[in-house]
Amino acid sequence: MTYNQNLREENLDFLDNNPVVTRAAGENFEEGHSLNSRAQNEPSKIIPADSGSVGPWEPKDLAFLDQHVFLGENTDCQDAYDFIVEQLTQFGRDFKNFREFPEEFKVVGYHFDETRQGCYRVQLFEFEGKLGVNCTRLDGDSLAISQMWRLLKDVLHKQQFYEDPFLMQLEAETDDEPFFSDFDDVEFDLDSFKYLDLSKDPDFSSKLIDEIEDMNVGTHALMLLNFNCQKESNLTFIANDFGQTLFDKAVARLSDQTSQISLPDAVCISNLVCTMVATAALAVTAEQFKTIVDTAEEWCFENGSRKTVVPTASEEAAHNLTRVLRPLLDSIPAEETDDLDSTTQIKNILEKTNFDTVRNNIDAFLAFN
């Protein structure tokens, strides 16, 4: 399930009509490495899919595959790959939180499903002359990856890349429609089931915010805060009672040299920073501004290293952080801005970035200088 941020656009007028949008703490995955339990016991099953070969992966046996489907007989490999990349972008709220390996028809990225996140590898393969799609969980919550895989199979079926017998059966069965139509007029408050009511327990909210800097549970705390602040009442409560504290803790997590900032961390923090800028009265220091610029620069481009297969860039995080540079700069006390010169670094982001959305944000920021 995707999610949208509830931002007050009038507080972000410096960028009109641009969407506001969220690295997990831990190790990088080297080529051939996976946290899939079967893969750990049988590493040879993972290495072929990450060997840097050209063309679709050719497993020697079906036992090497994880969740997979075979595509239609006349499916073009490049067309299928392009379609999958497009869909994964849409699953990420039209942002790229993944890394492409087009020569291998492979994508490695992160999927967010409410308070869950996971790292996946989706790759085309050929087995006995048949073209298929394989999905492997590399890290994170298996439920998040299962949700992404279900969504991907659904769109592949709808676009006739393959035929899903279960979906075909559902499409053919209409006998239950009258029964379920009896519930059409029943109203359910889904938000009461989906979201916590943070205002009912301020101590819990305070604890969540404190845990942002905890390497052991920080990512989970960020995911909970990021998701539950989609509910307007939660966002208002957090902004009014904890806005400054949340902002300070989030930026401190980014500046902590002893911790590894994962893509989920960066995405969640960037979303929370955006929402706090739009809804809370913030006091911003020059050092905090520099930390945000440093983080935006770090996540604005893919370094291209083959030492890891996980993404080293996040369009979502880089977009969010560059989007709020102007209001953040305007919030810094005048006496602190005299020695603050980030223009050169910000121009470097413009040169480095792989993402048009980030370029647009930087162009807009520089136009005000």
Give the pLDDT mean for 317-338. 92
What is the reported pLDDT for 335? 84
What is the reported pLDDT for 45? 34
Residue 20, burial from CB neighbour count under 10 angstroms (0-12, 13-18, 19+): buried
Q: Where do the CATH 1.25.10.10 domains begin and end in the chain?
A: 16-27+194-367
What is the reported pLDDT for 3? 40
Q: What is the pTM of this model?
A: 0.82
Distances (CA, A) of 74 to 59, 123, 161, 172, 308: 20, 18, 9, 25, 34
Q: Where do the CATH 3.30.310.220 domains begin and end in the chain?
A: 37-171
Residue 39 has pLDDT above 50, yes or no: no
Give tens-digit pLDDT for 211-264: 999 989 999 999 999 999 999 999 999 999 999 999 999 999 999 877 789 999
Between β-strands 98-101 and 130-140, what pairing exists: parallel, antiparallel or unpaired?
unpaired
Residue 367 has pLDDT above 80, yes or no: yes
Asked if 136 and 39 touch (Cβ cutoff 8 Å), the reply is: yes
What is the reported pLDDT for 176? 53
- CATH fold for domain 16-27+194-367: Leucine-rich Repeat Variant (1.25.10)
Give the CATH architecture of domain 37-171.
Answer: 2-Layer Sandwich (3.30)
